[in-house]
Amino acid sequence: MTSTLATTVAPLRFLPEYEHAGPDEAATLADINEQMHRIQEKTFADGGKAIRSVHAKSHGLLVGELRIPTGLAPELAQGMFARAGTLPVVMRLSTTPGDILPDDVSTPRGMAIKIIGVTGERLPGSEADVTQDFILVNGPAFNKPDAKSFAGSLKLLAATTDKAEGAKQVLSAALRGLEKAVEAVGGHSATLSALGGHPETNPLGETYYSQVPVLFGEYFGKICVRPVSPALKALYKEPVDLRHRPDGLRDAVAAYFEEQGAEWELCVQLCTDIGEMPVEDASVVWDEAKSPYRPVARLVLGAQASWSDARARSIDEGLAFNPWHGLAAHRPLGSVMRVRKGAYEAARRFRAEKNQRAVSEPKAIADIAL
């Protein structure tokens, strides 16, 4: 893989004034932690196992490699991408709710990747680790502008967690119909999708986005992972029949990886205009015509068993994915990212305590029992 040519507009170097915490951000974090704790307490009481407060249900647990090429443009050869090489990767495919629902309650898809063997100055709390995490969802921007507005929507999620499963399935079907109507006239509703109106499509055909920016060495931008192998591209908007198949998405991922591998590009969209590409408003889609996503590495995963009890124990139960696991050169930016640090750490501690098992960072891929 070779890099694209530099864009005509030079990317902006990061300045501290691009970030500005609100006066009540600590209170917002406490509110978010409380709501996430409520979700975890409810699902633990119902199921007897502590699970994630968001993205609880996984559909694929995969391993592979991240290949960083030589010859990246200087603005792309930043942080962990400054040196060419190959590093092991763990990938987790999921959907967004904090309770384990049948897949026909169709919600946005998530991809979390953990890159192992990354060296350099670390973010606070991850000094002893050698991992870099990226947390991604199949939409280019967050559905709320900031942490405070996200806290409000999280209260509704906490109040409805694990209630009226049948009603959720009926509602999801109705919302999918509304979303199709919106898409028919060229639109998209993140709200309808988040509530259960996401099309019933294969998660392997999607492009996944960080939605909110991170430092990129001297610069800053958003991350995406997009399919490049033809078999993956062919799955874009490919329907999956989920009727009477509560784990139909997991089955679809397993069927694909039984037969073949997959390749994605990991890309960065560098900020070129702070007025139109803000740090603190996570709901703004950055214009790709002004700053395209440019590849900096390739994810290569071979054919494998994408789901097993051993993988569930090692990856689902034994690992945590958090954008604050990583290098200082890729520090998460903006209020949504800042509150994620404490919220994700609290959720990890809850799982470790209730399940009475360590949730730790691997030093090598061999640390993960597959």
Q: 222-249 pLDDT, tens per residue?
A: 999 999 999 999 999 999 999 999 999 9
pLDDT of residue 69: 98
Q: What angle do CA 299, 198, 133 make, to 5 degrees?
A: 30
| Integer CA distances (angstroms), 13 to 74, 124, 173, 273, 327, in order | 13, 22, 45, 11, 17
Side chain identity at residue 164, one-letter code: A
Give the lowest-confidence range in 74-78, 179-183, 216-220, 258-262: 179-183
pLDDT of residue 174: 39
| Integer CA distances (angstroms), 60 to 204, 215, 236, 251, 333, in order | 10, 28, 17, 9, 28
Averaged confidence pLDDT in the chain: 89
pLDDT of residue 189: 46
pLDDT of residue 17: 97
pLDDT of residue 150: 87
With 90 as the cut, is the pLDDT of residue 194 above it?
Answer: no
Percent over 70 (pLDDT), the chain: 88
pLDDT of residue 163: 53
Kindly state the average pLDDT of the residues 82-102. Answer: 94
Q: Name which of 36, 169, 33 is nearest 104 in CA terms.
A: 169
E-strand ranges in the chain read: 57-68, 85-95, 109-116, 131-137, 208-209, 214-216, 219-227, 262-270, 294-301
Which distant-in-sequence residues (6+ apart) come within 8 Å of 329 by Cβ?
Answer: 78, 79, 80, 120, 121, 215, 216, 217
Q: Are 60 and 307 in contact (CB under 8 A)?
A: yes
Task: Give CA–CA dist 255/218, Å, rounded.
Answer: 42
pTM, two decimals, is: 0.89
Residue 115, token pair as written in the block: 């890159």
pLDDT of residue 197: 62
Residue 169, token pair as written in the block: 């399935």
Task: Give CA–CA dist 313/133, Å, rounded.
Answer: 19
Say how many residues make up the chain.
370
With 50 as the cut, is the pLDDT of residue 214 above it?
Answer: yes
Kindly state the average pLDDT of the residues 166-189. Answer: 39
Q: What is the pLDDT of residues 5-27, one digit of tens each?
A: 444 689 999 999 999 988 899 99
Residue 360, token pair as written in the block: 């730790």
| Integer CA distances (angstroms), 242 to 138, 190, 239, 250, in order | 19, 21, 9, 11
Task: Give CA–CA dist 12/218, Å, rounded.
Answer: 9
